[in-house]
Amino acid sequence: MKTPAHLAAMHDDSALRAAFARAFGGRAPAALARAPGRINLIGEHTDYNGLPVLPFALPHAVRIAFAPRDDARIVLRHAREEHPPSEFIASPAIEHDPPGSWANYVKAAVEHFARLLLETSGAAARGFDALVDGDIPQAGGLSSSSALVVATALAFCEVNALSLPPLELASHCAAAERYVGTQGGGMDQAASILGAPGCALRIDFFPLAATPVPFPEGWAVLACHSLVRAAKTEEARAEFNRRVGECRVAAALLGRALDRPEAPRLGDFAKEFGTAACVRALGEAVPPDSKILARARHVFEEAERVAEATRALAAGDMRTLGRLMSDAHASARDLYEISGPALEELVRLFLEGGALGARLTGAGFGGFAIALGEEDPLARLMAEVDDRFYRVRAPARPLEELRFIARPAEGARVVRV
């Protein structure tokens, strides 16, 4: 029997196919690529330090209808008018659009995979016509941009008969996204590609590995936009990259203190020496109120919380998971300094409303906050947040695009039509 979710997906697919035909002179698409966004339960700013995360794939996704062309041109249309059309040649060196342009995420994937194709088979890239749509809220820290990179990579690989195992595909997508200038880790692309229905994913890095952890029936996450934009290619990029730089400085100082000059990441030290020894060694190298020390402490302690949270989730101990999420939020606010007044207000409303745990999710600097709970109480909590947050701060905005309740959904895929 078809579930309502299947029926909704079929409806979306046929609307996307029809929109493709309208955009490309009646032509039918050859296939559809779909890549979900993600929520991160816990493990923030650990990935690029080589330490684990615990996200899940959302039911919300970027979807691309596409058909191969006989030349190397990529002809892009977006279903939403605010995203202007774009055309460029698929090659291993593609000129950037101005920062903030949606086409840069498509260019990121095409440039990277065109280079890979050339290096692995000597072949030049074949282009495609593509119509993009999606329902992941943008600039909200739910990986709408990585989902666009992943969906584009899937379309490119399908058109160019490039076949990669999922973990390799995820690593390539993470490398591809550096094109936009953010020094992110690999969480978002891996969560989108490897997502499994009903499961969170414990993801490890260097080397990339993913283990599904069942998320118990009846439990879910309420996700609410703080109404503060967290756009990766705009204001938040400099702040994000500054945090990455601070972690590199911390790793370099530890390398000197612990005589491991070539260890590149905080994770290398955590694995060899443990949190306490690392914090002590760094504390002797910098003043006690140093930002470098605060950032590194967050990273080391967050990795320990991820390990504990993974065990709690696997045991169905949602109370412990919730407590760890709230601790992670306090650390993100006080040590990593990536929260803000609107996110704080949401987290306070969540906890006052009975959530088991609450925190910002994603890079921070705005975007979404999440609350953990059972499905029915979360629905009541959502109604309360509508009244006390959105109806006060954004009375004219449609609520559907600002908040939702979600459980883990499936990962990215291509469907031939």
Listed ranges 57-65, 124-132, 183-191, 277-285: which one lies at the site for ligand GLA (CB under 6 A): 183-191
C-beta of residue 212 within 8 angstroms of C-beta of residue 166: no
Q: Which is nearer to ligand GLA, 185 or 408 (CB)?
A: 185
CA–CA separation, 20 and 22 (whole Å): 5
Kindly indicate which of the ranges 79-87, 123-131, 185-193, 339-347 contains the residues binding ligand GLA, using the contact rule CB under 6 A. 185-193
Q: What is the rounded CA–CA span in Å between residue 60 and residue 136? A: 5
Q: Is 219 in the site for ligand GLA (CB under 6 A)?
A: no
Give all strands (DSSP E) within 182-242, no chain letters.
Answer: 199-204, 209-214, 219-225
Beta bridge partners of 220: 373
Give me the 135-174 binding string for ligand GLA, x by CB under 6 A, dash otherwise. ----------------------------------------
Judged by CB under 6 A, the residue of 19, 41, 45, 312 near ligand GLA is 45
Contact between 97 and ligand GLA by CB under 6 A: the answer reads no
What's the rounded Cα separation, in Å, for the pair 296 and 331?
11
> Catalytic residues, which ones?
188
Of 129, 158, 188, 268, which lies in the binding site for ligand GLA, with binding defined by CB under 6 A? Answer: 188
Q: Which is nearer to ligand GLA, 127 or 195 (CB)?
A: 195
User: By C-beta, is 307 or 417 nearer to ligand GLA?
Assistant: 307
Written in H, E and C, the secondary structure of 63-108 is EEEEEECCCCEEEEEECCCCCCCEEEECCCCCCCCCCCCCHHHHHH
CA 252, 256, 261: angle at the middle one, nearest 5? 70
Least distance from ligand GLA to the Cβ atom of residue 49, Å: 9
Please, what is the minimum distance in Å from the beta carbon of residue 132 to ligand GLA? 20
Q: What are the residues facing 224 on neighbouring strands?
A: 369, 403
The values of phi and psi at residue 358, to 5°, are -150, 145
* Cα 192 from Cα 153, distance rounded (Å): 12
To ligand GLA, the closest distance from the beta carbon of 141 in angstroms equals: 6
User: Which residue is listed with tokens 């995420």?
Assistant: 105
CB of 301 to ligand GLA, least distance (A): 14
Strand pairing category for 403-406 and 413-416: unpaired
Write out the binding residues for ligand GLA, residues 48-77 only, by CB under 6 A.
48
Taking the complex as a whole, the smallest distance from the CB of residue 184 to ligand GLA amounts, in Å, to 3
Restricted to residues 304-363, the positions that interact with ligand GLA (CB under 6 A) are 362-363
Sort residue 130 into left (φ over 0), alpha (ψ -120 to 50) or beta. Answer: beta
201: tokens are: 């994913």
Residue 44 within binding range of ligand GLA, rule CB under 6 A: yes
Question: Please, which residue, 48 or 156, has the CB nearer to ligand GLA?
Answer: 48
Local structure of residue 364 (DSSP, 8 states)? -
Position 184 contacts ligand GLA (CB under 6 A): yes
**One residue of 47, 97, 246, 268 binding ligand GLA per CB under 6 A:** 47
How many angstroms separate the CA atoms of 118 and 260, rounded?
Answer: 37
Least distance from ligand GLA to the Cβ atom of residue 385, Å: 23
Give the residue nearest to ligand GLA (CB). 184
CB of 400 to ligand GLA, least distance (A): 23
Q: With CB under 6 A as the contact rule, which of the stretches 2-10, 41-49, 291-299, 405-413 interacts with ligand GLA?
A: 41-49
Among residues 335, 238, 260, the alpha carbon closest in space to that of 293 is found at 335
Instruction: Give residues in contact with ligand GLA (CB under 6 A).
Output: 44-45, 47-48, 184-185, 187-188, 362-363
